[in-house]
Amino acid sequence: MKLEELLHQTYGFTSFRPGQKEIIEQVIAGRDVIALLPTGMGKSMCYQLPAYVLPGSVLIVSPLLSLMQDQVAQLKKMGEKSVVALNSFLKREDKEKIWQTLNQYRFIFISPEMLVQPFVKKQLEQMTISLLVADEAHCISQWGFDFRPDYLRISEILPALGHPQILALTATATAKVTNEIKTYLKISDPFIYTHPMDRKNIAYDIKRFENTGEKLQWLQEFVRKFEGPGIIYAGTRKKSQKLAALLNESGISAAYYHGGMEHQDRIFVQQQFQNKELEWVCSTNAFGMGVHIPDIRHVIHYQLPTSIEGYVQEVGRAGRDGKPALATLLLAPGDESLMESIVLEDLPTKNEIYQVHQSHDPKRLISDGIVRETAYRVIDYWLKQLSVEETYKQIEMLQQEKVKQAGKIKKLVTITSCIRQYLIESFDQEMDQKPESCCVNDWIDYEVFELRNETGKKRDLLSWQNRLNALLPL
């Protein structure tokens, strides 16, 4: 059967999106693949369709619970019942039922932390896993070295699974990140598909202010003038909450989202945004993966992002419908120093490394407040791989790399040449054609984004609190 026939028979689509067929052909042919496809290009199809050709199950390592749940929901919506997500939120009785029938599932989603647990490994050993998918594979580099080192241990499970094929999927990756993916997944000779990362419907803007007060005033005026939906990325959890409160006070429907919230609260905000009950989400970089909203018109960075890769990933959540979208980066005095502190805050200090190395009960250091939990995970991983002196050097190398990434962001906000070209060249690609509405250093047509009221259409000014009050009156 031809792939187009299988695609139509299985999912009802008549043609592939760019890159999908080339990737799927290589997967079915038995080759390891690293695929770089921009957000909205249908990365999931690259493992979904092969699952109907390959024997056994497909194991998808996914970074976020919300992303897992969204992918499971999407598959079930398309009629696939043989899908399950293994995570810490499953009830005990549900877990036991899943373990008894695990080999019956075609798609198994799992976090890297759960994947390396001995019990889970033992269960997976008894199965036929034909394909291991590292979804959002840039996280191996972006998060694995920093505070989720279990990403670096994915390859440890491969022998127990009988060395299945590897498919690493990501929207953005530099040559350095691609090499790290190859190294830590132990892929020797992969087929690498790189789609041009330029999204021509996204225009890049930078606004500079004398102080934070001016920046806040601009933001309030902007959200009144320009129609959402949109995401406002803040550098800290506290700032995301303050910005959401500010928008609500201005009569704009907005909510905050960050990693410190309860899981159900985060899911609730995400669902509200997807259901158009919120016009804006004010968030840390925790929001984005798994959010499939095609008509996001604006991505605003209230504070500087910490890397070019992260910036492009976050901006790429806008304009997935192909219509014009605006990426606006705000800059005020003090933002660069804040960005530099955020860049390094997750990495362990030398004292934390020393304390863990010397302690007979290192986990107690967390409860005693001597070592941060995220720092402990990183230290514990590297001390098992390296000596204490080598661990010091490893963390120093990571600090230097992060400072280098911060330097690229500083250059982004100071160049007078084309911003689009600078971003494209950061990913070792070339710009083929510049769109008419390109960037603030060339030209942007702001009129296409303005809120239109000539038809008498009224904007919904209810905040999310007011919506809840309307739904649940006292």
Q: What is the pLDDT of residue 87?
A: 79
Characterize 19-35 residue by residue with b for buried, 16 or more Cβ atoms within 10 angstroms of its Cβ, and e for exposed. bbbebbebbbeeebbbb
In 3D space, the residue among 136, 120, 206, 189 whose CA is nearest the CA of residue 414 turns out to be: 206
- CB neighbourhood size of 253 (10 A): 24
* DSSP 8-state assignment for residue 156: G
pLDDT of residue 64: 80
Q: Where are the domains of the chain?
A: 3-194, 202-337+413-471, 346-409
Answer whether 442's CB lies under 8 Å from 189's CB.
no
CB 316 within 8 A of CB 195: no
Q: Are 74 and 44 in contact (CB under 8 A)?
A: yes
DSSP per residue, 299-342: EEESS--S-HHHHHHHHTTS-TTSS-EEEEEEE-TTHHHHHHHH
Where is mean pLDDT largest: 133-147, 181-195, 254-268? 181-195
We find that the CATH architecture of domain 202-337+413-471 is 3-Layer(aba) Sandwich (3.40)
What are the E-state strand segments in 102-184?
Answer: 107-110, 129-134, 165-170
Average pLDDT over residues 253-264: 89
Contact 1, 23 (CB under 8 A): no
Is the entire prediction scored with pTM above 0.95?
Answer: no
For the chain, the residue count is 474
Identity of the amino acid at 232: I
At position 124, the amino acid (one-letter code) is: L
pLDDT digits (tens, 9 = 90+) for 260-298: 888 789 889 988 998 999 999 999 887 776 677 889 999
Whole-Å CA distances, 166 to 60, 134, 366: 10, 7, 35
Q: Tens of pLDDT along 54-97?
A: 999 999 999 887 788 888 888 988 888 899 998 777 788 888 88
The distance of Cα 245 from the centroid of its chain, to the nearest Å, equals 25
pLDDT of residue 255: 95
Q: Which of 139-148, 215-224, 462-471 has the lowest mean pLDDT?
A: 462-471
Q: What are phi and psi of 109, to 5 degrees?
A: -100, 140
Asked if the domains at 3-194 and 202-337+413-471 fall in one CATH topology, the answer is yes
Strand partners, 83: 107
Cis peptide before 229 (omega within 30 of 0): yes
User: Quick one: which of 102, 175, 165 has its CA closest to 132?
Assistant: 165
The tokens of 227 are what? 């129609």
- Domain at 3-194, CATH class: alpha beta
Alpha helices in 413-452 (DSSP H): 419-426
**Residues whose CB is less than 8 angstroms from the CB of residue 199 and which lie 6 or more positions away in sequence, other chains included:** 38, 315, 316, 319, 325
At 120, list the tokens: 């889970």
Mean pLDDT of 208-233: 93
What 3-state DSSP class applies to 433?
Answer: coil
pLDDT computed for residue 281 by the predictor: 95
- In angstroms, the CA 337 to CA 393 distance is 24
Grade residue 457 by pLDDT with cuts at 50, 70 and 90: very low
Give the sign of the dihedral formed by CA 111, CA 117, CA 123, CA 124.
positive
- What integer best gives the mean pLDDT of the chain? 89
